[in-house]
Amino acid sequence: MAYHLRLLHQMKQLHLVFNVVKLTLAPDNPITGWKIEDYPLPIVIDREVEWEVEEILDSHWHWRRFQYLIKWKGYSHEHNS
């Protein structure tokens, strides 16, 4: 079995006939044990995207200025930066 698609003129380089296997829906969770995490949305202030800081974990002096290790609010420790 195959599907014959009607595509836009801009997509004329694609083949119009696809096997049914190529057009089936993907499973909700293709990787067993993998959890999709729901992260908080950023805050937009004056058209600038910002995230909320939960805690400053560490700081050090580097090339005449401080660098900080940040724990972001709503994110796991793997996302510290």
What CATH number is given to the structural domain containing 61?
A: 2.40.50
What is the extent of the structural domain holding 70? 2-25+45-79
Radius of gyration over every alpha carbon of the chain, rounded to an integer in angstroms: 23
69 domain residue, yes or no: yes
Domain total of the chain: 1
31 domain residue, yes or no: no
pLDDT in tens, 54-80: 999 999 998 999 999 999 988 888 888
Q: Residue 40's pLDDT is what?
A: 84
59 domain residue, yes or no: yes
- Between the two ends of the chain, the Cα-to-Cα distance in Å is 50
Q: Tell me the residue length of the chain.
A: 81
Average pLDDT score over residue span 33-62:
85
Model pTM above 0.75: no
